Amino acid sequence: MVSKPSRRRLVATGLALVAGTAALTALPAFIDPYSLRIVTGVLMWAGLACAWNIVGGYAGYISFGHSAFFGIGAYVTGILMQSGVGMPFLATLPLGILVAVGVAAAIGGPTMRLRGAYFAIATWAFAEMLMQLATVLDITGGTGGLSLPAYLNEFFFYYTMLVVALAVYLGAWYLLERTRFGYRLKALRDHEPAAEAVGIHTTRVKVQAFALSAGITSLFGSIYAYWVTFIDPRSVMGPEITDQMVVMVLLGGLGTVWGPALGATVLWVTNRYIWSEFGDTAIYLPILGLIIALIVLFLPNGLISLLPGGRRGHGVLTRLLRKL
Amino acid sequence: MDVLLQALLNGILIGGILICLTVGFQLTFGVLHVIDFAVGGWVMLGGYAAYWASRLLGLDPFISVFFIFVVFAGIGCALGPLIYHVRTSRYARPDLMALAFTFGLFIMMRGGALWLWSFDSRSVDSVLSGASLSVGPVTIPLLRLSAFGMALLLGLGLFVLLYRTRFGMAVRAVAQNRDHAGLMGVDVKRVSAYVYGIYTGITASAGVLLATIYSVNPEVGVRYTLFAFFVAVLAGLGSVGGVLVAGLILGLVESLVGTYVGTRYSLLVVFATLYLVLLISPKGILRRGI
């Protein structure tokens, strides 16, 4: 059964959400365009991390191939907005989602039979395959990339990202924590044969989760393509995209609703800070790697477990303090 | 016909090095049950070590490869206990945490190399570079032949170690059953650390050989991780013997696709094959995987 959280907690969360939304809506009036771009980036990465978390954190399948879906969204929008086709931006979004969900549903069945490391390798191979495909095809512009019509309105992208990210988080919270779907997903993560034994159609649930995650990732890919106005196989399908999604979720807290948002905020702000401080982001990658290794060694439940009220917050914090 | 012969020969020569690249990886999976994402990182770092050894000390890669083996084996032995710790920890999913850990190591290596040495490709010169042997219609570059020989030597050494020494017996015992081996008096933690050291040493040596044939830049790691995965999956994860066949297959596939279809398609074909093999026969084509 779906248990009800305490009324007080629900009210507190609701109030925090309303206040947060109001603050984010008003934010562009108070900050300069450069900071606005950073916040837009935070919103995008928070949404992407949330999408990855559905498969990685809730279903327990570590995917190293999510850049494929990001790229699918970016390329669908990019190709359909070329002057020959000339579709309006908003019309390309559902098409991108449709293609990504279709691909995810098609490959999800056979791929998700593989467990653990095999699944990770398979998704990785799939993503690299798509990137190579985008490199050799003509319609994607090959290595030369694609240019999209420029729409230089930072406010538009900020609010688009805000609306989509908020919808993604609310939807994810509702689906994963308040419905039977979420419980089925967690059950199969914790013990797949047992979940099957109590009558959960595990394959269907897994593929649904994978397709949902792919659809969200593709949506952000579409918006990103229009936002940066130029895409090539490396920038929208490269392994760095998946790397960041994985690290943000691990940093924030695997299998928690708000952990990915926290991880994304910390990491993306760090990234931009390094960029503005050193002029390039070369040192960002080794830091990213170091963070993963340290998190795995010392903080497997992520930053969110340090916050008061986190499920294991008290335990981890006291343990860390004792270590120091 | 001559083109075909030449392509086959190149495939076999490269296949030998790919075998050397993957045996250690397979051994690690068999003993530690860890898929090491960082395998390509070790290859890349081995290549850079050879580059700096030849640049700063003037050592030929075929001589420095022995020192590089020792140095990287030492690094691996130091790192081994950490990986063992993560793999045997009480986390909810230690296998995935170990995977994430090596993934982090790999990003660190790739990022570190990018940061320190930038994107430039560096080639490592040997006295053998450029020399070649003509046998009938085909030419055999001496460099590739010697690298092939060196790879075989390393692989052979590993097999002797595994099947002809007491230490090798302990390694095989741990691979069969960690708990039972521990009960029989094998120091599982130490064996795991040594195995990781042997693996890093042999993989870095393969990296030296590959750097002399091609060249090395920070991005080659991704490619070689993929190659190691490909060979390992084809052989069946954890099967050391299957690598002999699978390595040659990958060498031949790459060489034939490169010759007849075009080099820009070779990676596409390799990735597609890897994905399909995983779907159709995840235990490897010889069905010997764990």
Any domain includes B202: yes
Determine the distance from the C-alpha atom of residue A126 to the mean position of all C-alpha atoms in its chain, rounded to a whole number: 18
Any domain includes B284: no
According to DSSP, the β-strands at B138-141 and A146-147 are unpaired
Residue B166: domain span = 19-218
The pTM of this model reads 0.86
Answer whether A286 touches B (CB < 8 Å).
yes
Any domain includes A153: yes
A246–B101 C-beta distance less than 8 A: no
Q: What distance in Å separates the CA atoms of residue B75 and residue B153, rounded to the nearest whole number?
A: 22
Q: How confident is the model at residue A5 (pLDDT cuts 50, 70, 90)?
A: low
Return the pLDDT at B290.
58
User: Would you say residue A282 has pLDDT above 90?
Assistant: no
Residues of A in contact with B233 (CB under 8 A): 118, 121
- Residue B86, both tokens: 């993560």
Any domain includes A274: no
Best interface-test mutation with A: which of B279, B280, B281 has the largest number of A CBs within 10 A? Answer: B279
CB-CB: which of B86, B96, B109 is closest to A297?
B86
Q: How confident is the model at residue B2 (pLDDT cuts 50, 70, 90)?
A: confident
Q: How far is B113 from chain A (nearest CA, A)?
A: 9
What radius of gyration do chain A's Cα atoms show?
A: 20
CB-CB: which of A60, A282, A293 is closest to B108?
A293
Q: What is the pLDDT of residues A189-231, one digit of tens each?
A: 888 899 999 999 999 999 999 999 999 999 999 999 999 999 9
CB-CB: which of B110, B118, B271 is closest to A132?
B271
User: Which range is least confidently modeled, A2-16, A41-55, A71-85?
Assistant: A2-16
Residues of B in contact with A297 (CB under 8 A): 82, 85-86, 101
Any domain includes A268: no
Answer whether A251 touches B (CB < 8 Å).
no
Any domain includes A253: no
Any domain includes A145: yes
- Tell me what the mean pLDDT of segment B85-91 comes to: 83
Any domain includes B89: yes
Q: What distance in Å separates the CA atoms of residue B226 and residue A249, rounded to the nearest whole number?
A: 24
Q: What distance in Å separates the CA atoms of residue B148 and residue B98, rounded to the nearest whole number?
A: 32
B226–A136 C-beta distance less than 8 A: no
Return the pLDDT at A309.
59
Number of domains forming the structure of chain A: 1
Q: What distance in Å separates the CA atoms of residue A231 and residue A237, rounded to the nearest whole number?
A: 9
Any domain includes B236: no
Any domain includes A43: yes
Any domain includes A14: yes
B237–A297 C-beta distance less than 8 A: no
Q: How many CB atoms are located within 10 Å of the residue A152 CB? A: 7
User: Would you say residue A120 has pLDDT above 80?
Assistant: yes
Phi/psi of residue A190, each to 5°? Answer: -75, -35
Best interface-test mutation with A: which of B25, B82, B85, B107 has the largest number of A CBs within 10 A? Answer: B107
User: Would you say residue B79 has pLDDT above 60?
Assistant: yes
User: Would you say residue A312 has pLDDT above 60?
Assistant: no
B237–A117 C-beta distance less than 8 A: yes
CB-CB: which of B100, B265, B272 is closest to A296?
B100
Q: What distance in Å separates the CA atoms of residue A125 and residue B132, rounded to the nearest whole number?
A: 36
User: Which range is least confidently modeled, A167-171, A201-205, B124-128, B216-220?
Assistant: B124-128
Q: How far is A241 from chain B (nearest CA, A)?
A: 12
Instruction: Work out the mean pLDDT of chain A and round it to a whole number.
Output: 87
Q: What distance in Å separates the CA atoms of residue B266 and residue B272, rounded to the nearest whole number?
A: 10
Return the pLDDT at A1.
42
Residue A209: domain span = 7-246
- Candidates A257, A261, A270, A253; CA nearest to A304 is A253
User: ipTM of this predicted complex?
Assistant: 0.83
CA distances to A53, A79, B93 from A57, in Å: 5, 33, 11
Any domain includes B148: yes
Any domain includes B250: no
For B66-84, letters b (16+ CB in 10 Å) and e give eebbebbbebbbebbebbb
Answer whether A106 touches B (CB < 8 Å).
no
Any domain includes A57: yes
- Residue A124, both tokens: 């990785």
Q: What is the pLDDT of residues B270-279, one digit of tens each?
A: 888 888 888 8
B106–A286 C-beta distance less than 8 A: no
Q: Is B161 exposed, middle or buried (0-12, 13-18, 19+ CB in 10 A)?
A: middle
Return the pLDDT at B50.
94
Residues of A in contact with B112 (CB under 8 A): 285-286, 289
CB-CB: which of B105, B118, B233 is closest to A121?
B233
CB-CB: which of A117, A121, A296 is closest to B86?
A296
Q: How confident is the model at residue B260 (pLDDT cuts 50, 70, 90)?
A: confident
Residues of A in contact with B115 (CB under 8 A): 282-283, 285-286
Q: What distance in Å separates the CA atoms of residue A54 and residue A256, rounded to the nearest whole number?
A: 9
Tell me the three-class secondary structure of chain A, residue by residue. Answer: CCCCCCHHHHHHHHHHHHHHHHHHHHHHHCCCHHHHHHHHHHHHHHHHHHHHHHHHHHCCCCCCCCHHHHHHHHHHHHHHCCCCCCCCHHHHHHHHHHHHHHHHHHHHHHHCCCCHHHHHHHHHHHHHHHHHHHHHCCCCCHHHCEECCCCCCHHHHHHHHHHHHHHHHHHHHHHHHHCHHHHHHHHHHHCHHHHHHCCCCHHHHHHHHHHHHHHHHHHHHHHHHHHHCEECHHHHHCHHHHHHHHHHHHHHCCCCCCHHHHHHHHHHHHHHHHHHHHCCCCCHHHHHHHHHHHHHHHCCCCHHHHCCCCCCHHHHHHHHHHHC
Q: What is the pLDDT of residues A102-119, one digit of tens each?
A: 999 999 888 888 877 788
Q: What is the pLDDT of residues B51-60, one digit of tens each?
A: 999 999 988 8
A126–B96 C-beta distance less than 8 A: no
CB-CB: which of B99, B109, B115 is closest to A62?
B99
A286–B278 C-beta distance less than 8 A: no
Any domain includes B257: no
The partner residues of B139 in beta bridges, in order of sequence, read B134
Q: What is the pLDDT of residues A31-77, one digit of tens each?
A: 888 899 999 999 999 999 999 999 998 998 989 899 999 999 999 99
Number of domains forming the structure of chain B: 1
Answer whether A125 touches B (CB < 8 Å).
yes
Any domain includes B62: yes
Tally the C-alpha atoms within 13 A of residue B36's C-alpha that lie toward its C-beta: 34
